[in-house]
Structure 1
């Protein structure tokens, strides 16, 4: 049901002309590269053809402002898996907005969403505490409205996948399982 070619087509038809940006299936780690002397368009390269990876990388692009979209990987430094507690807290703080948008994109596409703490070999953290922060941000976006690029893609995904539009907070009811975070 969720073909990567469909997502690429939806993204390109929504943003290629207006933002000179294309979604690219990569073979390795994801990366965002602005247009340069070798490629005339900006590229959101997602990992290994995975649908979830594409949604996540799109979400980062949707968060990034005009100036950030002119920088490789939006000018951010990525601290890889194996982060200590302080590094993990910083990682999670910058991932809240993109993952909230990714959750909305997933719902619009009728695709299951799971938060990612992306630190299998580092300090243990409670995924549900992070999910609660992502959920709170998602509800805030739903109440305040998404930026125009995000709204355009959410609408395009909802039309293609025939999911409810507009999105509502009722679609995102979630209860924090406190008992699962004791001991982490």
Structure 2
């Protein structure tokens, strides 16, 4: 049901002409590459043809402002897997909004969403606490509105996958283990 070729077509149809940006399947790590001498268009490169990776990288593109979209990887800090507790907290802080948008994209596409703490070889933190912050962010975005590009893509995904539009809070429920409800 979720073909990467469909997602690439939807994204490219929405943004290739207006933003000179295309979704590109990468072989390794995801990266955003602005247009340069080697490539005349901006590239949102996602990992290994994975649908979830594409949604995540698109979410970063949707968060980035015009100036950031002229910089490789939007000029953002990134510390790879293997982060200590302090670096992981910093990572999670900057990932809340992109993952909230990724969640919205997933719902619009009828695709399962899972938060990612992206730190398999580092110090573990409470995934549920992070998911709660992502959930709160997506609810705020639903209440106050998404930016124009995000709204455009969400609508296109909903039309293609025939999912309910506009998105509603009820579509973003998640179950926190009862023993953690009062902790987080």
Shorter-normalised TM range? over 0.9
Does structure 2 retain, via aligned residues, the 8 Å contact 1:128–1:181? no
Residue 124 to residue 84, structure 1, CA distance change in 2 (3 Å): same
CA contact (8 A) 1:46 1:54 kept: yes
The equivalent of 1:47 in structure 2 is 47
Deviation at 1:181, TM superposition (A): 8.5
Structure 2: segments with no counterpart, 5+ residues: none
2:151 is the counterpart of 1:148: no
How many residue pairs end up in the alignment?
A: 183
Q: Given that residues 129 and 181 in structure 1 are in contact (C-alpha distance below 8 angstroms), is that contact kept between their aligned partners in structure 2? A: no
Q: Which runs of 5+ in 1 are unaligned?
A: none
Q: Secondary structure at the match of 1:114?
A: coil
The corresponding residue for 2:94 is 94
Deviation at residue 139 of structure 1 after TM alignment: 0.0
State the distance in 2 between where 1:43 and 1:182 align.
43
Q: Which runs of 4+ in 1 moved over 3 A?
A: 180-183
Structure 1 residue aligned with 2:161? 161
> 2:73 — aligned with what?
73
Q: Is the 8 A contact 1:25 1:47 kept in 2?
A: yes
Counterpart residue number, 2:31: 31
Deviation at 1:33, TM superposition (A): 0.4
Q: Using structure 2 for the length normalisation, give the TM-score.
A: 0.96
Please give the alpha-carbon distance, in whole angstroms, between the structure 2 residues aligned to 1:172 and 1:38.
41
